[in-house]
Amino acid sequence: MVSYSQEGADILYDVIFYEDKNGRKEIEEHLLKLREKADAEIWELRPLNNRILYAYYEDNKFILLHHFIKTTRKTPKRELEQAIRNLKDYRERNVE
């Protein structure tokens, strides 16, 4: 399950990982590997020319941090810096 909050209402999505005929779920395996990284690196989803920057947080949680339209070959530094600021802000406001 994937969840997000909108105006105080929790909305849940069922996420189905594609499984090939041998039982392999590449996307799920990839996410599990990301979970092992303790340094909360910023990662990039690439749907067409859109970019969504995200990071693994903790307890099987990934945070979608920032979105932009890619117009150059390299991810602009300001976009990465914005994602880092957003992650820092999230951590500061969600200390448990």
**pTM exceeds 0.85:** no
C-beta separation of 68 from 78 below 8 A: no
Whether 94 has a pLDDT exceeding 90, the answer reads: no
Nearest to 71 by CA among 49, 43, 52: 49
Residue 66 backbone dihedrals phi, psi, to 5 degrees:
-160, 145
Domain count for the chain, please give it: 1
E strand or H helix at 53: strand 50-56
Whether 37 has a pLDDT exceeding 70, the answer reads: no
Its domain, for residue 71, covers 2-93
Task: Average the pLDDT over 36-55 and give the result.
Answer: 75
Residue 3 backbone dihedrals phi, psi, to 5 degrees:
-130, 155
Rounded Cα gap, residues 4 and 2, in angstroms = 7
